[in-house]
Amino acid sequence: MTATATRPDAGPGHETALPTIDHWIDGAADPGTSDRFGLVYNPALGTPSARVRFAAATDVDRAVDAATRAFAGWSRAGLGKRATVLFKFRELVERHADELTRCIVREHGKVLADARGEVQRGLEVVEFACGIPHLIKASSRRTCRRTSPANRFASRSALSRASRRSTSR
């Protein structure tokens, strides 16, 4: 199935083939098994800019199976490995920031300054996620101190003292 569109500035009879957006399954582009497509519109111009392949039930099943397998490996990965992956992702976002900005403009109809802001905010979220292993380690150290038998007793004593002070006022 081939989709075509007429560019508004091309005039009648000047149709251009639209690029096709396929699925991404198990780390690779996958055309899927469906012969159904939908048009993707450029919201700023109101014209078709691509076509997207719809997924058949078998495509969805393969994608879910691949995600299930990927989750099994990711869930066993330690904090260090996860942080390494997130830092690499951050580097990729930084390296391709201009390309991502153009995609946002093209696919969401945002003006360039807003799209740059979206990429920057997304990068800040990724940077925060990169620091989560450090936060988890700090949190677990505090939890260990609070839950050791000696510290539980010390904490109860401190609470008793604080409680006596607040009731004596």
**Which pLDDT does position 45 carry in this prediction?**
83
Give domain status of residue 5, yes or no.
Answer: yes
Encoded tokens for 29: 């582009």
* Domains in the chain, number: 2
- Distance (Å, whole) CA 106 – CA 51: 14
Give domain status of residue 107, yes or no.
Answer: no
Final residue in a domain of this structure, among 58, 76, 94: 76
**Which pLDDT does position 1 carry in this prediction?**
38
DSSP notation for 99-151: HHHHHHHHHH---HHHHHHHHHHHHHHHHHHHTHHHHHHHHHHHHHHHHSHHH
Residues 105-119 pLDDT 10s: 988 889 999 999 999
Of the chain, the percentage scoring pLDDT greater than 90 comes to: 54
Final residue in a domain of this structure, among 40, 58, 76: 76
Nearest to 34 by CA among 48, 47, 20: 20
**Which pLDDT does position 169 carry in this prediction?**
52
Q: Do residues 140 and 132 make contact, with C-beta atoms less than 8 angstroms apart?
A: no
Planar angle of CA 111, 21, 56, nearest 5 degrees: 130
Range of the domain at 149: 137-168
Query: Does 141 share its domain with 72?
Result: no
Give domain status of residue 37, yes or no.
Answer: yes
Give domain status of residue 24, yes or no.
Answer: yes
Final residue in a domain of this structure, among 44, 60, 76: 76
Cβ neighbours of residue 104 under 8 Å, at least 6 residues apart? 110, 114, 115, 118, 119
Cβ neighbours of residue 97 under 8 Å, at least 6 residues apart? 116, 119, 123
Q: Is 3 exposed, middle or buried (0-12, 13-18, 19+ CB in 10 A)?
A: middle
Q: How much is the average pLDDT of 11-20?
A: 69
**pTM of the complete model:** 0.63
